[in-house]
Chain A
Amino acid sequence: MGPYAREELLACVIARLIGEAAHVAVGAASPIPATACALLAARGNRLRVSLLHKRKGNPFSEGSRELFDLAGQGRIDVFFLGGAQIDGEANVNLVRAEGHRFPGSFGSAFMYFAARRTILFREEHSRRVLVPKVEFVSAPGSSPPGVWRRGGPQALLTGKALFAWQPGRNRFRLETVHPGSSAQDVREATGFDYDCAPAVPQTESPSDEDIALLRGPVAREVAANYPAFGRRIWGTGSGHSKS
């Protein structure tokens, strides 16, 4: 297998995490989760993908309100959240950190409860991002008994590693480490404590089949909605899509 971009690896990991699902929704600027969904579709998976930022043929006819209503009805199986900060209890902060203002909470405070599974995704893996305690809870990782909650975190994927969420223990467990990183490196770059087996396997590299799909139909589809991303990863087109 030839070289691949880190973004391609991450998309393949997300595709595995999505696994069996009927309906995946992708919210604000998330080209890598969108790539994972396009990869699953290119493999022939009959998954329904609702991409809020799809420029042409958007799945909604009532804007983002429809996304939240769908989630409220229990019709969204998988959603994605990032964060300026994410802590060891899977709390997500999209508002402010270290004196810096970030865009804001988006729909996180609702979607984290209403979607059946949420994949936390943040490429930067550092103590700045993965903190012991978030400065602001945009959306909590868990809720006390008696508070309605349909779903919660499934996993945390970063540019270095994949963590699984353990709902009973309210803690992450290091699952795999991406090529080029090590369990030791991950421990040093992570500000929160987590469980870890004595030997942590390496994250599976993308298959040749997946790489071929990613650079063919997936690249074309993703670039139509995320032109700058498409250009950076695959050198696609001029980015002047007419919608």
Chain B
Amino acid sequence: MDALPANATRFLADADALAALIPDGAQIAMPPDYSLPAMAVVRALVRRRARGLRLLGVPVLGLCADLLIGAGCVAEVETSAVSLGEAGLAPRFSEAAEKGEIVVRDATCPMIHSGLQATEKGVPFMPLRGVLGSDLVGLRPDWKVIDNPVRNRGQSRISEKSDSDPDFEDPIILAPAISPDVALFHARWADRAGNVWLGRRRELATIAHAAKAAYVSFEHLRDGDMLEDELLAPGVLGSVYVSALAPAPRGAWPLGVADEYGIDDEQLMTYAKAAKTREGFRRYLEQWVLTPEKSCSPA
């Protein structure tokens, strides 16, 4: 092991080195395609032939999940949806789910956010309104329904009637705390102190807070400490949460990083078409993923 203090952020050489830290079978929490996905690390996971991964979509997944599923890296997906957005359905996900090749634990977005927030606060669950009456509840024995124990107070009341009727129940669902093994995402900047800048994508900080380890790829390394800059600090995830960092220029490609590069819509369409068949997907992998120097292709 390195002679580093236990909580120091490790700086690694590249996306492949980050992927090597993620063991087979790990539960990996990942953002949607619009929120800084670590695509370079995803491609590295495919190259290292990761197996049995359990993906957690926070709260939905897209290209990164479809690539990993198609490449046989995934055993289970817990998510509120998997979709390629404007490019349509996620073909490898759909086929694997239809054929029972992966376990799909269906959720709904705020249940996932709330579960991570519970872990962030170190409490066992977080209550959430709605959801009752959805068939999701029956599929998820880990989601518990209780009678609201603090009903009749302020926001928790249902109606005037519920205030006066002692037998009036107020069922409410509980999102169990979720503690993923790994949080995996991309950032525009990292600094030498091990902080990363997420900008407006502060929901990613919650994933890192809740995960046992956070692995982050980044575009550029900055000198100094971003937490000492009042304008940058609100968008910073502090190094205390960052387990390891690696540079990955254009590391979100073909997805975007705000103010750096936009979404490569053409490439997404290319993928969506190719991945409709196993053979097309295999050719896509050969062309765009298995050859490392091509996998961060400039637009």
Residues of A participating in the B interface, judged by any CB pair closer than 8 Å: 28-29, 31, 53, 55-56, 58, 60-66, 68, 72, 94-95, 99-114, 136-140, 143-144, 146-149, 226-229, 239-243
Contacts and interface: CB of A to CB of B under 8 A. Distances in A.
Contacts of A107: 59, 80, 108-110
Given A56-B258, A65-B113, A104-B79, A143 B133 contact: yes
B232 to A, nearest CB: 14
B162 A146 contact: yes
B135 A137 contact: yes
A68 B147 CA distance: 22
Given A63-B203, A65-B203, A110 B256 contact: no
A226 to B, nearest CB: 6
A137 B133 CA distance: 8
A166 B93 CA distance: 37
Contact of A65 (B104, B110, B256): B110
Nearest to A74: B155
Contact of A28 (B83, B97, B259, B262): B83
Nearest to A150: B129
Contacts of A105: 80-81, 106-108, 134, 136
A102 B90 CA distance: 9
Interface in B77-118: 79-83, 85-87, 89-90, 93-94, 97-98, 104, 106-111, 113
Size range of the interface on B? 35 or more
Nearest to A104: B81
24 contacts: A58-B200, A63-B35, A64-B113, A94-B81, A101-B93, A102-B94, A104-B79, A104-B82, A105-B80, A106-B59, A107-B109, A107-B110, A108-B108, A109-B108, A114-B130, A138-B136, A147-B132, A226-B86, A228-B87, A228-B269, A240-B265, A240-B266, A241-B262, A243-B258
B158 A29 contact: no
Interface stretch (B7-15, B168-176, B276-284): B168-176
Q: Give me the 8 closest cross-chain CB pairs, A-B, nearest first.
A: A104-B81, A113-B130, A63-B203, A140-B133, A107-B109, A109-B108, A103-B83, A68-B110
Given A61-B200, A138-B135, A101 B170 contact: no
Given A28-B83, A63-B202, A243-B258, A72 B110 contact: yes
Given A63-B35, A148-B129, A240-B265, A104 B134 contact: no
Contacts of B189: none
A102 B89 contact: yes
A106 B130 contact: no
B146 interface: no
Contacts of A139: 133-134
Which of B81, B93, B259 is most buried by chain A, counting CB atoms within 10 A of its CB? B81
A146 B161 CA distance: 9
B134 A140 contact: yes
Nearest to A61: B200
User: Which of A61, A148, A241 has the largest number of chain B CB atoms within 10 A?
Assistant: A148
A228 B97 CA distance: 27
